[in-house]
Structures are given as C-alpha cells and as structure tokens.
Copies of this chain bind each other. A is one copy, B any other.
Amino acid sequence: MKPTRREVVASLAVAGFAAALDPVTAWTQETTPALRVNADRLRAHLEALSVYGRPAGGSFADGVSRTAYSDADVPGRQYVMGLMRDAGLDPRVDTGGNIHGMRKGSDASLPAILFGSHIDSVPSGGNFDGDVGSLGALEVVQTLQEHGVETRHPLHYVIWQNEEGGLVGSSIAAGELPASGLQRVASSGLTVEQGIRKIGGDPSRLAEARMAKGSHRAYLELHIEQGGNLDKAGIPIGVVDGIVSIDEYDVTIRGFANHAGTTPMPERRNALLAAAKLVEAVQQIMTAEPGRQVGTVGHMEVSPNARNIVPGLVKCTVELRDLSDTKIAALGERIKARAQQIASETGTTIEMDKVENDPPAMATPEIQKMIENAASSLGLKTMHLPSGAGHDAQMMARLGPMGMIFVPSVAGISHSPKELSRWQDCANGANVLMHTILALDRT
C-alpha cells in the first residue's frame, strides 16, 4: 500500500521536513519514483481500440485498417476521446483535426509538457504503430490522475491526425503543411481537405491550429521501433538520437521499346536492363561504407510492360535515409554518377531528380538523458538508435525540445498485421514516458 498524498503531506508536516518545498511538490518527489502505469488497463485499451478498422471476422492478431478519415477512424477517435474524459481530460478538436487534452499544472506561468502520438494506421497495418504511444501517453495521464499527482507544468496530451499520410496533423501544427497538402488524396480516398472536415476540423481556418515555437517545454513521443534493433539486442527501451534525413529521387529511364523477337541483343536500348543495374548500384553504394544508412528502390513501373516487348521506359524511385543529411547527399551524388555510366552502357538516358529532402530532426540531448535516467530508475536497459521512420516528433522538433522513446517490435515487423510489441514492453515504454515527464517537470 502506497501512502496517499494526504497522508504524505501530513507526515511531512509533522516531521517539519522539506521546509523549502511546498507540501505538494515534496510529496510528489517522495512518492512518484514508485508510480507505475496500469499495464493491464493499457492492454485492454489497445485491444478495445483495435476493433475500429479490424478486418471482418478477424481478431486482434489480424491487424487493422484504420486509415485517416476512414469510417473506422471516426469512431476510433471517439473511443479515445471517451478514454480522455475518463482520465480527466476535456477533449478538443483543433481546426486541423488534431485532438487535444489539457491538464492544469500548479504553476500557470510554466509552459506545457506536450506528448502523444497518432491512432491512424496504414491499410492492413498493425495494432501497435501509433496506438502504443497514444494510449500509453493517456495511461500516463490516468495514472497521475488516479494517484492525485499534480505537476508544476501543465500537461498537454495530443493525438495527431493522419500521421501515416505524411505527418499531416503535426505539419499543420508546425505550420509546415505545403499549399498542395489539402488536395493530397489520403488512403481512405478522401482528400485531406475533405478528411479534415469529416473528423471535425475546419480546413479554411488551419492557421488557428498552429502551435507557436517555444510554446511548450518539450515534446515527448513513445512509439514502437518498427525496426528489429531493440528486439535483436534484447533491450527494452530505445533512446532515439534523432529522426533520419530522407532524400527522395524520381528516376526516369528512357530506352526504346521494340519487338522482343526481332530486335537483336546488341541493338537493344533496354530501359529495364538499365533499371536493374541501377537497383544493384544503389545496393552496392549504400552498403560500401560503414554506418546505418539505407537506400531503397521501392517503386518501379515498366512500360509498355508486355512479355514480348523490350521495355522502352522505366520510372522508379530511389530513397536514401541517414541521420546525416550530408552523408546521404554525397551518396546520392555517387548514385547519380553511376546512373550516367549505366545510361551510356545501355544506350538509355537516365534522369534522376531529387523531389524531396527531409532534414534530420535531432532529439534534444537533455531529453535523451532524461529518458535514459527514467529507464535506469525503472531498471530498464537502454540503447541509443536513430529512427529510420518518420514521426510527428520531427515536426515538433521544429518548435522546441524533442525526445522519443522506442519499445521493441518483434522481428522488426511493422506496417503489417504481423506487427507485434509485447505487452510488458508497451507498459515499460509508458512508464519511461511517465518518469521522463516527471523529470522534465522538475526542471
């Protein structure tokens, strides 16, 4: 049995202890190290949320398709807003469609500590990506609430809308949604503009959803790793160094479409042969030096794409990621140079254009340290790693200090119904988030 706040405050008063501290703060510092989230309740909430977008006739293990703005997203959001009310938060939807809940702090002059994640999924996704961070963060609020723990800073809980469609909600909050962003078609088939209306926002007043730079103490996000590093190493908590920089290229390879029966091999200008050499070049160049950099040709379209025609045109993508943007820029230049050699070897032309460049979003060292300490105080080992995936946290890094906590994904599988994080790992992550918030609150 833990003492209640009333009992502790009374005992402190009796002992004449901690004269420099107000009784509430003193109680908090004494008691909170033992605070733990309710792991069973977190699991129950994750299981309950999973029904919104579950495949017909399926179970939790069959994953979820709760794409942003879909008919599953709307009741899923309603469900979470109900949980927010249970945790003492009064949910508010901003004009961009993000859901917010504020919990007052004892010192109204302090900026809020912001934390949360998203609950939209990719089509045929899993029940952990976004959900663990969203419901883990809510579990933190509910735990503080039921133990009567008051923080000095206000706590600002947030659910970002349409993370999977390109960090849409957090981009709106950061004032980074491009002009064309509202017309983008989401996985649900609606445009972002239509979607925002459907979930209770107002796309004509997006500026009202912007958050000012420096308006919060820090942003924290708990998320599954979506890679296999923690699982492979057997380490329960990842301290994210930062979110990688991404360079995206569109590649157009032009050869000459010709009859596959009548065109001798030496006369061909085969765009697919050039594309094949480019795929191998990306692999070779990206693995030729040490480091965690990755390079992917994920999309390819062949034209005319007929069994009996030498391909005349190939369009494909090249995507490079690393924490160092100068490193991927240099690697991209090497791939471009190799592409020109391939073009001349194959009688094709290759255009390779950089179409997007996301800078890296580094986690604040001070916050990384707090996450490490929180984990350590809970007896949990940590490992530093970059996030190879994009997260709403990268938008929030533009507004103030940022930190991310990762928990293991079994076998590194994500964006798949097979995505799995163990319940204990989910609870560990929420506990680390809670104690990082409490540590931040003391600063």
Using a CB–CB distance below 8 Å, which chain A residues touch chain B? 225-229, 244, 246, 248, 257-267, 270, 272-273, 275-280, 283, 286-287, 292, 294-302, 305-311, 317, 319, 321, 387-390, 412-416
Contacts and interface: CB of A to CB of B under 8 A. Distances in A.
A276 B287 CA distance: 17
Contacts of A277: 276, 280
A298 B280 contact: no
Contacts of A260: 294, 296, 298, 319, 321, 388
Given A258-B412, A412-B258, A264 B305 contact: no
A312 to B, nearest CB: 9
B267 A412 contact: yes
A229 B287 CA distance: 43
Given A280-B280, A283-B273, A263 B294 contact: yes
B388 A261 contact: yes
A411 to B, nearest CB: 9
Contacts of A267: 228, 412
Given A273-B283, A277-B280, A279-B272, A263 B227 contact: yes
A263 B321 CA distance: 11
B262 A414 contact: yes
Contacts of A297: 272, 311
Nearest to A356: B307
A259 B308 contact: no
A357 B248 CA distance: 42
A414 B275 CA distance: 24
Contact of A299 (B305, B319, B389): B305
Given A228-B264, A272-B279, 7 more contacts: A227-B264, A258-B415, A260-B298, A265-B283, A265-B286, A272-B298, A301-B305
B306 A412 contact: no
24 contacts: A226-B259, A227-B262, A227-B263, A227-B264, A228-B263, A244-B261, A257-B416, A258-B413, A259-B389, A260-B388, A261-B294, A261-B388, A261-B390, A263-B388, A263-B412, A265-B295, A276-B277, A276-B278, A276-B280, A298-B306, A298-B309, A299-B302, A299-B307, A300-B305
Contacts of A300: 272, 300, 302, 305
A68 B297 CA distance: 38
Contact of A261 (B259, B263, B264, B389): B389
Contacts of A299: 302, 305-307
A308 B292 contact: no
Q: Which of A228, A262, A273, A279 is the most central at the interface, judged by chain B CB atoms within 10 Å of its CB?
A: A262
B292 A264 contact: yes
Contacts of A275: 276, 279
Contacts of A413: 258
Given A276-B279, A276-B280, A264 B294 contact: yes
A308 B294 contact: no
Contacts of A308: 296, 298, 319
Contacts of A283: 265, 270, 273
A321 B262 CA distance: 9
Given A275-B276, A279-B276, A299-B305, A259 B415 contact: yes
Q: Which of A267, A287, A296, A317 is the most central at the interface, judged by chain B CB atoms within 10 Å of its CB?
A: A296
A307 B415 CA distance: 14
Contacts of A292: 264
Nearest to A227: B262
Counting from the closest, the 3 A-B pairs by CB-CB distance are: A227-B262, A261-B388, A276-B279
Contacts of A225: 262
Given A265-B283, A277-B276, A259 B414 contact: yes
A292 to B, nearest CB: 7
A288 to B, nearest CB: 10
Q: Which of A305, A308, A390 is the most central at the interface, judged by chain B CB atoms within 10 Å of its CB?
A: A308
